[in-house]
Structure 1
Amino acid sequence: MDIVYEPEPLPETRAAILEGLIAYNERQTEGRYPPPRSVALGLRDPQTGRSVGGLTARIAYSRMFVELIFVPEHLRGQGLGAELIGRAEAVAREAGCTGIWLDTFSFQAPGFYEKLGYTEFGTLADYPPGFTRHYLHKQLS
């Protein structure tokens, strides 16, 4: 086998990796879980209908992972971030998830998530240099 560097992954390379990994994981977990799926909560400008931010997440193995969340700076402080997280938690509960996890940088919003009931379970220091990456989880009831 040859190992080939792709500075931008080819769609067929990503598909081969993802499909192979999903099939392997399904065999290991004996098909007890539905296939992983992605969800999004978009923030749309009501006047233009354009997306300006929102949240993307992945549901797998009884947990939701919040991949990305962004609220434009001019809209911050209005409760939209908390509403996005609250709605994501509702989606996770509806999907039968027992918890939600995410990561954030020290220059972003670790305190915001802690106020919403998330608990830190790990950090990666000096990533990026001079900052810390925080990993947080919240158990859903």
Structure 2
Amino acid sequence: MNNFEIYTPTAEEVHSGELGRRMRQFNYRFVGEYGQVQPVWLSAKDQGGALIGGLRGFVFLHWLNVELLFVDDAARHQGVGRRLLAVAEQKARELGARNATLNTFEWQARAFYLKQGYEEFGRIDDYIQGFYMAYMKKALAP
């Protein structure tokens, strides 16, 4: 097939979900049907109600994918990040997750994740301005 066009889809085409449905149909032939992406969204606020941190992720194919975990400088080293991650992992288990994965830049929180039981399984050196990106994972105990 050499008669095709590459183009930017319209918003309607993207929102229709057709591409995702077609990919799932292809995947089902190999692994059977599976559920949709399930969000795991958490926020932390101080006693005054101000946002001090949060976690955004999702469960898909029995994996918790942590996309973002942030804690304000003033709230660090007080257990906020540890609690956010622990609650996210528990919610993920309840949604059927058996493992978790995330990535972190060299200057961010690799040591923190190691303390929480994550292991580095891959790295891209010089990802940006000489810093590496670490890819980490953890088995979630039942």
**TM-score normalised by the shorter chain: which range applies?**
0.7 to 0.9
- What residue number does 1:24 align with? 22
- What residue number does 1:139 align with? 139
Counterpart CA distance in 2 for 1:93 and 1:22 is: 25
- What residue number does 2:38 align with? 37
TM-score normalised by length of structure 1: 0.84
Deviation at 1:128, TM superposition (A): 1.1
Unmatched segments (≥5 aa) in structure 2: none
TM-score normalised by length of structure 2: 0.83
Unmatched segments (≥5 aa) in structure 1: none
- Structure 1 runs (4+) deviating above 6 angstroms are none
- Over 3 Å counting, the alpha-carbon distance change for 1:99 and 1:37 in structure 2 is same
Please state if 1:3 is matched with 2:2: no
What is the count of residue pairs matched by the alignment?
134
2:120 counterpart letter in structure 1? E
- What residue number does 1:128 align with? 128
Deviation at 1:13, TM superposition (A): 5.8
CA deviation string 1:89-131 (max 9, x = no partner): 1011111111010000000011110111101111111111210
The secondary structure found in structure 1 opposite 2:36 is: coil
Counterpart CA distance in 2 for 1:85 and 1:14 is: 32
CA contact (8 A) 1:43 1:51 kept: yes
| Aligned ranges 1:1-141 → 2 under 5 Å | 1-4=5-8, 11-12=11-12, 14-16=14-16, 19-27=17-25, 28-29=27-28, 32-47=33-48, 49-141=49-141
The secondary structure found in structure 1 opposite 2:69 is: strand
